[in-house]
Copies of this chain bind each other. A is one copy, B any other.
Amino acid sequence: MKLTNKRKKALEEYIAKKRLKSTRQRNIIFSEFFSYPGHHVTVEELYERVKKLSPKIGYATIYRTLKLFKECDLAFERNFGDGRTRFEPVKFEGEHHDHLICIACGKITEFENQRIEHYSREVASKNNFEVINHKVELYGYCSSCRRNK
C-alpha cells in the first residue's frame, strides 16, 4: 500500500473514531502537507500553498489541522532554533531522516544512519518507552562555515 494511502487511512480512522468530520479544507491541507517537496514545512509556507487552492482559508485552520495531524501521529513538530516552527510527516517504518544543522548559515543536511537508529530503539525499549518519532540533530558548523578548516 502506498504511503499516502496509509496516511489517509490513518486520518480517516481517527476522524471516524473521534466523530470528527472530513472536510474539503482538511483534505486540501492533507494533500499539500504530505506532498510538500522539502520536508519540514513552516506554517506560513503551508498556508501560502493551501491558499492557492482555497483562497479563503485562514491561519487558524492550518494550525488546527496540523494539530489534528499531530494527534493522530501523522505530523511532527520541529524547531531548529531559528524561531520558525516546522512540521513534517511522521516517518513510517524504514524511513529515516536525521539532520546536520549549521548554526552559522542555517543549512540543513539530511542523513540516515541505521546504527544510530538501532541504538536509539534499544535505549527506548530499556525504558519501556514506545517511540513514535525520533530526532537526531547535530548542530555546528558546516563545511563552508567552519572556522578552522
Residues on A facing B (Cβ under 8 Å):
76-79, 81, 85, 98, 100, 102-103, 109, 111, 113, 115-116, 119-120, 123-124, 127-143, 146-147
8 A-B residue pairs with Cβ-Cβ distance under 8 Å, sorted by A, are A100-B123, A115-B119, A127-B142, A128-B142, A132-B139, A134-B139, A135-B136, A137-B137
Contacts of A81 in B (CB 8 A): 77-79
Check A143/B128 contact, CB under 8 A, given A134-B138, A136-B134: yes
- Chain B residues with CB under 8 Å of A119's CB are 113, 115-116, 119
> Which of B113, B120, B139 is the one whose CB lies under 8 Å from A138?
B120
Q: Which residues of B contact A135 (CB under 8 A)?
A: 135-139
